[in-house]
Amino acid sequence: MRAEVDVTGKSYLDVTDIISSVTHKWQKSYGDYATDFNIDDEFQPTGFNLDSGDAGIDKENCVWQFS
């Protein structure tokens, strides 16, 4: 997200909060994760692991980052 259109980072934090809540839901419940990613007769997930990530601003490129 371009930093100059979100100087305070509010939009960035709103979006990353939503993404984080979904990935944490998957981390807490294999059933939720498996249901969301299952494709009948095509793909059946067997695991999911959420490790620590990074969030912040890349001042050189003027963008907010979330990984």
Distance separating alpha carbons of residues 28 and 16, to the nearest angstrom? 18
Token pair 């793909």 is found at: 43
**40 — phi, psi (to 5°)?**
-45, 130
- pLDDT tens readout for residues 47-62: 777 677 777 778 888 7
**Reported pTM:** 0.58
**Residue 34 contacts residue 45 (beta carbons within 8 Å):** yes
Domain ranges (residues) in the chain? 3-66
- pLDDT tens readout for residues 14-26: 988 898 899 888 8
Distance separating alpha carbons of residues 5 and 29, to the nearest angstrom? 36
Distance separating alpha carbons of residues 18 and 12, to the nearest angstrom? 10
